[in-house]
Amino acid sequence: MSAAVPQLPALLRSVLFVPGNRPDRFDKALAAGASAVILDLEDAVAPADKPAARDAVRAWLKPEHRVIVRINSAETPWFADDLALAAAPGVAALMLPKAERVDTLARASAAGARALIPLVETAAGLAALNELARAPGVRCLAFGSIDLQVDLGLRDATEDELLPFRLQLVMASRLAGIAAPLDGVSTAIDDEPRLVADVLRARRLGFGGKLCIHPKQVAAVNTHGVPSAEQQAWARRVIDAAGSANGAAVAVDGKMVDKPVLLRAEAILREAAAG
């Protein structure tokens, strides 16, 4: 990657959408504290406004910015023109909605995209999940939970119905050796308890971060998307106890510490250090 283009951070904890037709919000989004910002040319922009939104994004981009651009899907008339932003200064990655085909990802890479984030939100995308995760240039997968419910005809679905699909993204990411996936958005902007519950669930399932639709959500995602103080304290006790045992069996908090427990403790402290 060119030194003139900032890379995305190693850990994408919170990723904030901002409408591509609202350039007045771009700088505010960058200042919101999210790991990365997505300039959205897709769902947030009405069809008649898409060319103007693309022009606004292009005019605002600078090498020192570190942003993701969500372009329109390959089946739309805006896809080819959106790809012209792939190599623009400051565009660290493209998010591809309705990701279903590896050849679409290849087109984005050929256009100069520095990294790819396929947004999996259809049945066809789920069916191609392993191929998408292994495609060259893919940084991580993202879960489009709302569109997936529509595509699958899930009516009044709860998180129980979505659980199998979330786990498929985590499994495909692990097998492909890419970063843990990004969980879908929480639509309740002013319901922090619900948001916190969503973040904690995503962590339990193995997601690495979460998509945000409002700056209000960023702080809660950043705070609760990392191991808690209690979890970190437990991890330190485990590592200290194992280090003092000289290979002998040891228990922490009344539970035996074996290799998987030690590895889990080490992973918690690495994640906490990464922020």
Nearest Cα residue to 9 out of 220, 217, 199, 209: 209
Please give the span between the terminal C-alpha atoms of the chain, in angstroms, as a whole number.
24
Q: Which residues pair with 47 in a beta bridge?
A: none
pLDDT for 265 equals 86
Q: What are phi and psi of 153, to 5 degrees?
A: 70, 30
CB count, 10 Å around CB of 24? 9
pLDDT for 257 equals 83
> Hey, what are 106's tokens?
């290849």
* pTM summary value: 0.89
pLDDT tens for the chain, 275 residues long, are 344 555 788 889 999 999 999 999 999 999 999 999 999 999 999 999 999 999 999 999 998 888 999 999 999 999 999 999 999 999 999 999 999 999 999 999 999 999 999 999 999 999 999 999 999 999 999 999 999 999 999 988 788 899 999 999 999 999 999 999 999 999 989 999 999 999 999 999 999 999 999 999 999 999 998 877 788 788 888 888 878 877 777 888 888 888 888 888 887 788 777 76
> Hey, what are 217's tokens?
């959500």
pLDDT for 34 equals 96
Q: Is 43 helix (H, G, I), strand (E, B) or coil?
A: coil
pLDDT for 220 equals 95
Counting Cα atoms < 13 Å in the Cβ hemisphere of 213 gives 13
The domains of the chain, with CATH numbers, are 14-224 (3.20.20.60), 229-274 (no CATH)
Taking the C-alpha atoms of 228, 164, 178 and 146 in order, what is their torsion angle to the nearest 10 degrees? -90
pLDDT for 2 equals 42
